[in-house]
């Protein structure tokens, strides 16, 4: 990984007014249930999936379409390092927002006289760290495939396809198709609940391996795609 790329990505993401507006809207709407029912704990905040999408959209594709990637790769940086750095930057940025969200929720609970469930807060942060790592890896792959913000469109289309497949499978009672659609959705939104592991409940090894399989596969494919991408250093205006 490359610290300069990580910092540059964080600066780029957190100085984008549109992304900041989305983050504020997502963060503040997630606070409403806490405001209405402060004793309900951190589970009401939901997960940070849409925050990841907000920060990850165009994480590589925008660099490609704006020509920034040529400058980044002019440094002694491998493309694998570039992809890893982008992935870690988005994950770290999202987790930073999640921590702010948790602090705000805890303050809100305390202000409303409700006890703050600290173990719930730790679980919330850990679960969201995994959501951020997983979703950022998927977005890294999609962003390596298409320029600009096309990764969001690709994600939406794939989700839509999975829903259509699930619908067809359900209506025709084709279990294999329903299962394929579930797997597609699991791939697009990798999740791993830490709660059962912490509480000593039986752990689904399939769920654990699915999560890590998706993350490694997405990162590996993103690097392979980037390695095969030809970048032009010529200026079109010259």
Question: Can you tell me which of 29, 78, 161, 163 binds other proteins, judged by CB under 8 A?
Answer: 78
Of 187-216, which residues contact other proteins (CB under 8 A)?
Answer: 193, 195-196, 199, 201-207, 209-210, 212-213, 216
Query: Which CB atom, from 91 or from 210, has the smaller least distance to other proteins?
Result: 210
Could you say whether residue 219 binds other proteins (CB under 8 A)?
yes
**Binding status of residue 110 toward other proteins by CB under 8 A:** no
Q: Which of residues 4-43 bind other proteins (CB under 8 A)?
A: 33, 37, 39-41, 43
Q: How far is the CB of 14 from other proteins (least distance, A)?
A: 28
3-state SS string over the chain? CCHHHHHHHHHHHHCCHHHHHHHHHHHHHHHHHHHHCHHHCHHHHCCCHHHHHHHHCCCCHHHHHHCHHHHHHCCCCCHHHHHHHHHHHHHHHHHHHHHHHHHHHHHHHHHCCCCCCHHHHHHHHHHHHHHHHHHHHHHHHHHHHCCCCHHHHHHHHHHHHHHHHHHHHHHHCCHHHHHHHHHHHHHHCCCCCCHHHHHCCCCCHHHHHHHHHHHHHHHHHHHHHHHCCCCCCCCCCC
Residues making contact with other proteins (CB under 8 A): 33, 37, 39-41, 43-44, 73, 76-80, 170-171, 173, 179, 183, 193, 195-196, 199, 201-207, 209-210, 212-213, 216-217, 219-221, 223-224, 227-228
């Amino acid at each position: 990984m490359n610290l300069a790329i990580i910092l540059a990505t964080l600066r780029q993401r957190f100085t984008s007014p549109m992304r900041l507006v989305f983050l504020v809207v997502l963060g503040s709407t997630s606070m409403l249930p806490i405001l209405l029912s402060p004793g309900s704990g951190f589970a009401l905040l939901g997960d940070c999936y849409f925050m990841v999408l907000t920060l990850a959209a165009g994480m590589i594709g925008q660099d490609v379409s704006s020509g920034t990637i040529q400058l980044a790769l002019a440094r002694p940086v491998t493309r694998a390092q570039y992809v890893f750095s982008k992935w870690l930057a988005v994950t770290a940025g999202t987790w930073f927002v999640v921590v702010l969200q948790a602090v705000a929720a805890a303050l809100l609970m305390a202000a409303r006289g409700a006890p703050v469930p600290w173990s719930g807060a730790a679980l919330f942060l850990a679960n969201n760290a995994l959501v951020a790592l997983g979703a950022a890896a998927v977005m890294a792959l999609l962003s390596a495939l298409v320029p600009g913000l096309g990764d969001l469109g690709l994600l939406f289309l794939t989700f839509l396809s999975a829903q259509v497949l699930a619908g067809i499978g359900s209506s025709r009672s084709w279990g294999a198709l329903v299962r394929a659609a579930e797997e597609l959705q699991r791939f697009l939104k990798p999740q791993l609940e830490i709660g059962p592991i912490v509480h000593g409940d039986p752990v689904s090894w399939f769920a654990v391996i699915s999560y890590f399989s998706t993350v490694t596969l997405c990162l590996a494919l993103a690097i392979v795609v980037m390695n095969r991408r030809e970048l032009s250093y010529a200026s079109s205006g010259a």
